[in-house]
Amino acid sequence: METFHWIVMGIALFFLIIILVLVGLMMRRNMSNKIKFPPVQQTCPDLWVNDGSGNCYYIDNNGGSGFVNTTTELSYKGDKAFPVYVKSKNAWKDSAGNPKSPSFVGSNPPSFILPTQNYAVFNPNDTLWSKNGVNPLCQQKKFANNNNIYWDGVSNSNQC
């Protein structure tokens, strides 16, 4: 190669090294900022219905492997530590299967629920999510991931 080619290759290599060093420094600085991702959390998981007051409803067969819906009954078979309530056969049960009505749900279900439908409900702002000093977002992430529920801002959070 001629001298001109060696000079051009040297200059190009010099600028490549400078650019790679700058990119590496910018990446290192961003890693130390501990940016929360994703920045927005959805109120309810996908395929769950928000009633406008913050309650999330699972109706019949629309999401969650921890829920088993037969022709007559809906039950929750997932982790019993989560504050999830099921209304089936006109009776309330908590996640452990014990008869218990959630305090945040009124006596009348929202208008989008038919009287014959079985449904589950939880409130993401319920204080039981932070039982024993656990971060509520981490509990909700565990609930979503254990039950194969996609909840944008929760199931893909990096804050736990």
Question: Domain count of the chain?
Answer: 2
Distance CA 26, CA 88 (A): 55
- Over residues 40-67, the pLDDT tens digits come to 788 889 888 888 888 888 886 656 778 8
- Residue 157 falls within a domain, yes or no? no
Contacts of 147 (CB under 8 A, 6+ apart): 64, 65, 66, 67, 78
- Residue 20 falls within a domain, yes or no? yes
Question: E-assigned strands of the chain?
Answer: 49-50, 56-59, 67-69, 74-76, 85-88, 91-93, 119-122
Pair 75, 119: CB distance under 8 Å: no
Do 28 and 105 belong together in one domain? no
List Cα–Cα distances, 124 to 70, 102, 133, in angstroms.
26, 13, 16
What pLDDT does residue 96 have?
Answer: 82
- Write down the residue that tokens 């090294």 correspond to: 17
Residue range of the domain that includes 77: 49-146
Do 74 and 98 belong together in one domain? yes
Do 29 and 55 belong together in one domain? no
- Residue 152 falls within a domain, yes or no? no
- Residue 126 falls within a domain, yes or no? yes
Q: Could you count the other beta carbons within 10 Å of the beta carbon of residue 50? A: 15
Do 30 and 74 belong together in one domain? no
Do 29 and 57 belong together in one domain? no
Pair 153, 41: CB distance under 8 Å: yes
What pLDDT does residue 37 have?
Answer: 67
Do 8 and 60 belong together in one domain? no
Distance CA 119, CA 14 (A): 65
Q: Please name the helix (run of DSSP H) or strand (run of DSSP E) that holds residue 21, with its range, or none.
A: helix 3-31
Do 65 and 104 belong together in one domain? yes
For the chain, residues with pLDDT lower than 50 are: none
